Amino acid sequence: MIVRPLRYVQLPVFETLSGYTPKAVERKIAAGVWMEGREYRRAPDGHVMVDLVEFERWVEKGLE
């Protein structure tokens, strides 16, 4: 079996991986620091899914 890492994760998993709380992510979204379709997307069921690839790009840019 081949296991492929996930690109998109829900907020509780993202908190475990990054240390950013769901509230911190919601603040970044509300302030327009993170854009839908770039750092996060909404799943068909409405859950916020953080894009780990774009999160890494955001970190590397040094933007807050």
pTM for the complete prediction?
0.88
Q: Is the pLDDT of residue 63 over 70?
A: no
Is the model more confident about 51 or about 62? 51
How high is the pLDDT of residue 1?
86
End-to-end CA distance of the chain: 39
How high is the pLDDT of residue 47?
97
Which of 11, 51, 6, 16 is CA-nearest to residue 27?
Answer: 11
What average pLDDT is seen over the chain?
A: 95
Chain segment 20-50, per-residue pLDDT in tens? 999 999 999 999 999 999 999 999 999 999 9
